[in-house]
């Protein structure tokens, strides 16, 4: 038996027309550990003390390190859920996003991202899929919501 890397899929690829408005995709939960905070700080260069100085945060009345908004938003990367894998090679790119940061996220919080298809628009050779993103914490609080749009080959 020969191995073909192009046929090695985590999920069966789907065509643009196979996706339906209302479908929901979930990414695995992820706990915001000190390691995640350190990795984000190193990658972003953000050195504001609200993200790493516990004494500073305590003076402001916060219970622990507070995640940067983008550190929270990256939990809404579709590559962490089945959706991007189902889009497969038809996925051309990420073209638009909006977000609202509704509640603080602290070190130790566990986040639960979900993506719902809210719109599809087909053109001649490509189409867009728009998702509503929602990220809840372990207490059920909605901490981030927004939209993302992706371009796909038809």
Domains of the chain, first to last: 16-153 (3.10.129.10)
Is the pTM value of this prediction over 0.85?
A: yes
Backbone angle region of 61, left / alpha / beta, with phi > 0 → left and psi within -120 to 50 → alpha: left
> Based on C-alpha coordinates, what's the Rg of the chain?
18
The pLDDT mean for the chain works out to 95
Q: For residue 68, give the nearest of 143, 147, 146, 125 by alpha carbon.
A: 143
What per-residue confidence (pLDDT) applies to 1?
A: 83
What per-residue confidence (pLDDT) applies to 8?
A: 83
Answer for the pair 41, 109: CB distance below 8 angstroms, yes or no: no
pLDDT band at 128 (very low <50, low <70, confident <90, very high): very high
Would you say residue 94 has pLDDT above 90?
A: yes
């Amino acid at each position: 038996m020969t191995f073909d890397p192009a046929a090695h899929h985590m999920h069966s690829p789907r065509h643009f027309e196979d996706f339906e408005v209302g479908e929901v995709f979930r990414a695995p939960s992820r706990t915001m550990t000190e390691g995640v905070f350190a990795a984000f700080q190193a990658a972003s260069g953000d050195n504001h003390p609200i993200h790493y100085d516990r004494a500073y945060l305590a003076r402001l009345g916060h219970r622990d390190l507070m995640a940067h908004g983008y550190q929270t938003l990256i939990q809404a990367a579709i590559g962490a859920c089945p959706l991007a894998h189902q889009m497969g090679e038809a996925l051309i790119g990420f073209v638009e996003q909006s977000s609202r940061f509704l509640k603080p996220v602290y070190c130790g919080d566990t986040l639960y991202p979900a993506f719902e298809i809210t719109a599809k628009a087909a053109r001649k050779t490509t189409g867009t899929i728009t998702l509503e993103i929602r990220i809840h914490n372990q207490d059920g609080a909605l901490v981030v919501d927004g939209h993302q749009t992706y371009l796909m080959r038809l």
